[in-house]
Every structure is written in structure tokens, then in C-alpha cells.
Amino acid sequence: MTAVTVRAPATTANLGPGFDCAGAAFDLWNELEVRPAEPGEPLVELSGEGTDEIPAGPEHLALRAFALVAPIDGWAFRFVNRIPLERGLGSSAATVAAGLVAASIVSGRNLDSDQLLALGLPLEGHADNLAAALLGGACLIWQEDGAPRARRISTSLPFDPVVIVPTSRVNTEASRGRLPQTLPYADAVAAAARAALLGAGIAAGDGALLERAFNDVLHEPYRMADAPVLADLRANPVPGSAGATLSGSGPTVVCWAWPGQAEAVAAELERRAPGARVLPLRIATNGTEAV
């Protein structure tokens, strides 16, 4: 048996109007080392974010994902977590992706991204996060013949993401409970138009189209109570930015800076949200991979 180390990126889902069907990967990585276990060695070692909250046994999410592809017996698992937990940055998707890819490598099964997505989705629940974690770049996700499908449509975006991570957390189920069951026809048309702009802007690398896409009407207006930072950025846009989007269900918000403006945008966000972490990031070109 041979040791392997994989890394999996943070992700942001929805990208505004791409509710449950668009996601992007960020250059912020969790790492998982899987190596042959020595006698008496612990099954799981943890460091970094959430070490006091994450189980250190077979119930660990990455081990459950690993076990879908290969047995965990005979292996030891070491994690370095850098993605904040339960903040809308896809920490669970990165965990599942890391377990799946590591198991695929050590077992020699060479599963493709759609197979890994289908395997991991019952554990993760959010295909947009998991697809972006597996593939990197900016992805679109859909259902076809009852199975999830995903494709990376760009390895970059025409903006630099600056992420604002509040200290609070948001329960995804509770956040989804705030969404209406139906929408007025005019709002549905507007949502479809914004989603079309989003896909076209990503594929073309057209910042002007994306800037117009970022004003979502489908889910973000109903989640503002959980994301006061987003409400502030909508009312008072940061100079040098093209817009802001809720990351998943939040509370993290992504402020999209025009090229060359990320440093100034980050400084202004630090001034406005002194208790939050402000992280200037980049789009991750690759998804979960061996290092």
C-alpha cells in the first residue's frame, strides 16, 4: 500500500442567480494524507479549523466517503483543515471530495467526476459545492436521467473574489426554510434571465455580463436577515467591486473585485466588518487532486 496526499478546495455555491446549479472553487485548501497505518497509530489525526468539533473516528465525513470506494481498514488519516466550518465555504464538500479522490487513487479505480459526484452527493447534499470541489474553476450542475451531472465551464472568472467570513453561523436547513414555495411569474422570468447572464458571463469571461447577473431575485432577498453584510454591500457597494453574492446559504459573502482592485476592496471590507475575517482569494484552477 502506498501513501497519498490530496487537497480539496473551498467553494462558493449559487454565484447569485445560479441557485443550486452553479459553483466555483477558491484557492483555499484542506489536505488529507492517507498512509498505511502503523501498530497503535490513531485512525484519525486532525489539525486546523474545527478540530474540537470534528469526529476522529470512522464516522468522520471523509472516512465515510472513502469507504464508498475502498475499505478504511489498514489506513491512517491525517487532516489539515483550513476552510472555516459552517460558514458557506463548502467545508463538508471539500471533506467528501478529499475522501472520494483519495480512495479512488489508492484503490486504482480511476472514477470520473460524474461517478464521484453521484457517490458523494448523499453524504454532502449540495451538488454545486461538491462539483466545484471535485472539478475546480467555475461549474454548472444539472440533473439528467435522475443523476447529477456537472461540467467545469471556465478555469477563471474576470474578478478577484474577496471573501467576508462573519463569526456567526447559519443553519442551511433553516435558511432554506425562509424561501417561498412559489414566485410571481415576473420574478421567475427575472431569475431565469439573471441565470442566463451568469452562464454566458462565465463562459465568455465577460465581466460586464456577470456584473448584471449578480443581482439575484430567486433566493438572496429572502436570506438577507442571516446575512447583514450582504444587505450592506447591496445598499452601499464597495468601490472597485462588481457586486456581492451570498456564499451558499451564508453567512459568508463574496465581494467580486475588478482586476487590480482586490487590495482596496479588502481594506474597505475590513473597515466595514471589523469582527469578520476578510480573505482575498483566487479562483482555484483545479479541483481535488493529489499533491
Residues 6+ away with beta carbon under 8 Å from 203: 153, 154
**Structural domain ending residue among the three candidates 155, 171, 190:** 155
Query: Helix, strand or coil for residue 55?
Result: coil
* CATH classification at residue 164: 3.30.70.890
Distance from C-alpha of 118 to C-alpha of 284, rounded to nearest angstrom: 22
Q: What is the pLDDT of residues 173-223, one digit of tens each?
A: 767 778 889 989 999 999 999 999 999 999 999 999 999 999 899 899 888
For β-strands 44-48 and 75-81, DSSP reports them as: parallel
**Among 89, 92, 223, CA closest to 163:** 89
State pTM to two decimals. 0.94
If asked whether residues 147 and 66 sit together in one domain, one would say yes
Residues 6+ apart with CB under 8 A from 101: 6, 8, 116, 134, 288, 289, 290
Residue 291 lies in a domain: no
- Reading the chain (291 residues) residue by residue, the pLDDT tens digits are 689 999 999 999 999 999 999 999 999 999 999 999 999 899 999 999 988 889 889 999 999 999 999 999 999 999 999 999 888 999 999 999 999 999 999 999 989 999 999 999 999 989 999 999 999 999 999 999 888 999 999 999 999 999 999 987 776 776 777 888 998 999 999 999 999 999 999 999 999 999 999 989 989 988 888 888 898 999 999 999 999 999 988 889 999 999 999 999 999 999 999 889 999 999 999 999 999
290 inside domain: no
Closest to 213 in 3D by CA, of 200, 229, 204:
200
Residue 238 burial (10 A CB sphere; 0-12, 13-18, 19+): buried
- Residue that terminates a domain, selected from 89, 120, 155: 155
β-pair partners for 12: 24
> Are 142 and 171 in a shared domain?
no
Q: How many domains does the chain have?
A: 2
- Examine the domain organization and report whether 52 and 112 are in the same domain: yes
Domain that residue 66 falls in? 4-155
